[in-house]
Chains A and B, each alone.
Chain A
Amino acid sequence: MSDKKASLATLTNGILKENPTLVLILGTCPTLATTQTVIGAVGMGIAALLVLLCSNVFISLLRRVIPESMRIPSYIVIIAGFVTVVKMLVQAYVPSLYESLGVYLDLITVNCIILGRAEMFASKNPVVSAALDGIGMGIGFTLALGAMATIREVFGAASFAGIAIPFLQNYKIAFLTKAPGGLLVYGLLIALVYAVTHGRAPLKKSFSCEGCVHAANCHVKSCETKGEVQ
């Protein structure tokens, strides 16, 4: 029972508590770049989810084989390989999405979320947990991108997923479709998540040290006790 609970927690963590975009503030570049349209954002989210799932599973499977000193190059090769696979599949079967995502599809390789989860989670957990973490993080990323894109497209371009919304046509806030508008919506969503979780999410102990990308080189025992994350 407790295993099931733990698995569910792993899956749901990425959706809100440790949402990669809105709580961990990772993958900011694709978040701002692909949320002009809902279709582009969801497409990017699903592509990232697939890469996350595959790379997490692969890295978890090889976690005892990959030498400590070679782990980052190995992760990069694995992630870049899966990104290329996803890119070829999207180009072959969803060419319109391939056109709309452009270079951002390739840039999933350097998306911090994927490398971050490989380093933080997949390399330390069994395959099933790693897969659930990849799915959870991918869904969280997709939902965050989808929510942000919905706000930007509906109010900025008076359409949803390319379908025009007639009564909003004269009230477009074009600013929202531009980069500064994206940053504003991003900030507001982060604030909303912070308000909903009462600011607890970013301070979770499990995240503050183990989840930190600097954890390996950090000599501080606990960020919380040192008051470094406030």
Chain B
Amino acid sequence: MKKNIKNLLVFLSICSVIALLLAGTNFLTAPVIEKNQSAAANQALLEVMPDADGFDSVDLSAYTLPATVTEAYRETGGQGYVFKLKTAGYGSDMILMCGVHASGTVTGAVCLSSNETLGYEKTYGEGFKDKDAAGVDAVDTVAGATKTTGAYKSAVKDALNAALILGGADVDIRTEEEILADNLAAALPAGEKNFEKLFLYEDIRSFDAIYRATNGAGYVFVTGDTFVGASADGTVLTEGATNAEAVKDAVAKITATAFEEIDLSAYAELQKFVVSAKKTQSGNYVFETKGAGYGIKGGNEWHPASGEYIVVRVSMTEDGRIIDCLTVSEGETDGLGDACADEKFYGQFDGKTEDNYGEIDGIAGATMTTDGYKQAISRAFTALNTLKGVGTNE
């Protein structure tokens, strides 16, 4: 027992001596190690702000910054800020570093880590150097890598906004979707924030878009930046609205819309590409037609064709002017051709006629999809002409 206690004491003494030795070494090396680590961390920051003297970390909890901003550093000399950003690319998340000068220009942007297929993010940031907000907007996304470069560009814009916010400015950091949702909710609170965009069967030209509350509370009419709420019977609820008559007419048209299914059995050719055809009481036509995009015509070993047609719903006046257009279904490539289901693309066909429907901006890097979509639109015109007995353009 005595021997064991002696052994233990010897062992504890050895441990104490070693602990003292470690404490001494730590006392000596800890400041140097910390300085080295801080220099290594600053190296990444200096890459996007080469003239910086040093950086202080910013406590983000005190600010409401865009969600992409994960870390922020203030240049000690007041030159500006450096932001670490996390955004969703095509493959997975991209981690970016972006420096913003106090004057509101980008001092540099680099991608720290990514898993993108084409690798454009490695050099895309170089194009933002010395650009201000307008300059960043003007930087083009790369055809074939719109998801990667679009997310990159959006993150750089977030960094610019974040710098403004940290500088004390009041900046609206909501996304377009969030702004729209907020405006709709403000115009018609009874809609309980649940709205759907109406596909227009009637030629209601006085509004850019009409939204219906899914709970049946009413409608919201959009003209430019003006949002006017109306009840289900067409009574305008927004104070000061100047277009009450137009709103009432529009609601009357919407609620009165009735369809008559057109029997296509007599039109063997049309049946090949027209999924359905209807005529409204007011004489407008509504077609769902098929177009062959990448899903039918394309495909290779990396991106096999899905075998799906692009199906488009088009409403048009009897004289051949497109009222509204909507992508019903598509099987195009993710991140490329599937942009045809985006309103920014198909919204371009509104108001077009058979003579000018081709004058739209195609989807970058997805020519087959654009052509397939145009084919579906062209077939709607063919169907209209055939039903009217004018002839066909195919």
Q: Which A residues form the contact surface with B (CB < 8 A)? A: 62, 65-67, 69-70, 73-74, 77-78, 80-82, 84-85, 88-89, 91-93, 95
Contact = CB atoms under 8 A, between A and B. Distances in A.
Nearest to B3: A67
A88 B33 contact: yes
A81 B21 contact: yes
B15 A93 contact: no
A70 B11 CA distance: 7
B10 A66 contact: yes
B250 to A, nearest CB: 68
A78 B18 contact: yes
A73 to B, nearest CB: 7
Interface stretch (B22-30, B44-52, B130-138, B141-149): B22-30
A74 B14 contact: yes
Nearest to B13: A65
A91 B11 contact: no
A91 B30 CA distance: 9
Nearest to A66: B10
Interface string B1-45: 001001100110011001101100110110011001000100000
Contact of A89 (B10, B19, B29, B40): B29
Contact of A78 (B6, B14, B28, B29): B14
Nearest to B40: A95
Given A74-B10, A78-B14, A84-B22, 13 more contacts: A66-B10, A67-B3, A67-B7, A67-B10, A74-B11, A74-B14, A81-B21, A85-B21, A85-B25, A88-B33, A92-B28, A92-B29, A92-B33
A74 B11 CA distance: 6
Contacts of A95: 36, 40
Contacts of B36: 91-92, 95
Tell me if B's interface is mostly helix, strand, loop or mixed.
helix
Contacts of B6: 67
Nearest to B15: A77
Contacts of B28: 92
Nearest to B36: A95
A92 to B, nearest CB: 4
A223 B26 CA distance: 46
A88 B14 CA distance: 20
A106 B25 CA distance: 16
17 contacts: A62-B14, A67-B3, A74-B14, A77-B15, A77-B18, A78-B18, A80-B18, A81-B19, A81-B21, A84-B22, A88-B25, A88-B26, A88-B33, A91-B29, A92-B29, A92-B33, A95-B36
Given A67-B10, A70-B10, A81 B29 contact: no
A85 B32 CA distance: 14
Contacts of B26: 88
A207 B137 CA distance: 76
A196 B10 CA distance: 45
Contacts of B25: 84-85, 88-89
A82 B6 CA distance: 24
Contact of A73 (B3, B11, B19, B22): B11
Contacts of B29: 88-89, 91-93
B190 to A, nearest CB: 62
Nearest to B8: A70
Contact of A85 (B3, B10, B22, B33): B22
Contacts of B40: 95
Contact of B32 (A67, A84, A93): A93
B73 to A, nearest CB: 21
Contacts of A88: 22, 25-26, 29, 33
Interface in B236-266: none
Task: With a 10 A CB-CB cut-off, give which of A65, A78, A84, A85 has the most chain B CB atoms.
Answer: A85
A13 to B, nearest CB: 28
A70 B22 contact: no
Nearest to A73: B11
Contacts of A93: 29, 32
A77 B14 contact: yes
A97 B221 CA distance: 67
A69 B18 CA distance: 20
